[in-house]
Amino acid sequence: AQKVTQAQTEISVVEKEDVTLDCVYETRDTTYYLFWYKQPPSGELVFLIRRNSFDEQNEISGRYSWNFQKSTSSFNFTITASQVVDSAVYFCALTLTGTASKLTFGTGTRLQVTL
Amino acid sequence: DAGVTQSPTHLIKTRGQQVTLRCSPKSGHDTVSWYQQALGQGPQFIFQYYEEEERQRGNFPDRFSGHQFPNYSSELNVNALLLGDSALYLCASSLVGQGNEQYFGPGTRLTVT
């Protein structure tokens, strides 16, 4: 069985601060995908990134960056120079490769960015 | 390019009643998955439909059933509603062979009283 742990329940930062959201996963499979989703107050889950287990390259997209380390089973997400619009709940998720595979989510981290 | 749509947005039902939620997948997608998200929790997988058949199921009782139509849209049915069924129900669509990338709809908020 797969498991995703997001130990940080809630994080509060002041605008322009950098913030890192932690994600630790468990799976016995060697091939899998990792995801990050953003859930604003409206409720819709917004896809941010997918990472293949074979690709440990870090990725940067604007103010967002992701650090994938198989050795520690972690897939952390950093927001640089946070903004109020970044306030949301962020979920890390895992799915096995294959045509029929569910997403296993963590419990989410609520990020509050204030002025 | 239309995204995933769900209806209704909100729903209030009484214990013991039955409810049907609907989902239209993103254009070009052929697979629909349903998730239940209780307040303050992460989404939990209910089941997935592909080619009009249930392909995978999570740990949910038989009161939860679904259907997929030839146009790939899907319904989630819940019978004999319990107070604990109150949650946000999310539909996600994907395309087979596209790295399990699932796109979510806005959800249906179900309240059982």
pLDDT (tens digit per residue) in A20-29: 999 999 999 9
Shortest distance between the Cα of B2 and any Cα of chain A, in A, equals 15
Extract the tokens encoding B72.
């790939």
Tell me how far apart the alpha carbons of residues A60 and A67 are, in angstroms, rounded to a whole number.
Answer: 9
CB contact under 8 A, B101 and A47: yes
- Could you say which of A47, A100, A101 has the minimum Cβ distance to residue B103? A47
pLDDT band at A70 (very low <50, low <70, confident <90, very high): very high
Q: What is the pLDDT of residues B70-93, one digit of tens each?
A: 999 999 999 999 999 999 999 999
Within 8 A by CB and 6+ apart from A99, the residues are B50, B55, B96, B97
Tell me how far apart the alpha carbons of residues B11 and B100 are, in angstroms, rounded to a whole number.
Answer: 30
Mind giving me the DSSP string for B77-99? EE-S--GGG-EEEEEEEE-TTST
- pLDDT value, residue B1: 63
Peptide bond into B61 cis (omega under 30): no
Q: What is the pLDDT of residues A74-85, one digit of tens each?
A: 999 999 999 999
Tell me how far apart the alpha carbons of residues A7 and A38 are, in angstroms, rounded to a whole number.
Answer: 17
In percent, the amount of chain A with pLDDT more than 70 equals 97
Tell me how far apart the alpha carbons of residues A93 and A113 are, in angstroms, rounded to a whole number.
Answer: 23
Closest CA to B82 of B112, B48, B49: B112
Q: Determine contact: A95 vs chain B, CB below 8 A.
A: yes
Shortest distance between the Cα of B68 and any Cα of chain A, in A, equals 15
15-44 of A, contacting B, C-beta below 8 A: 33, 35, 37, 42-44
- Could you say which of B58, B97, B106 has the minimum Cβ distance to residue A102? B58
CB contact under 8 A, B50 and A43: no
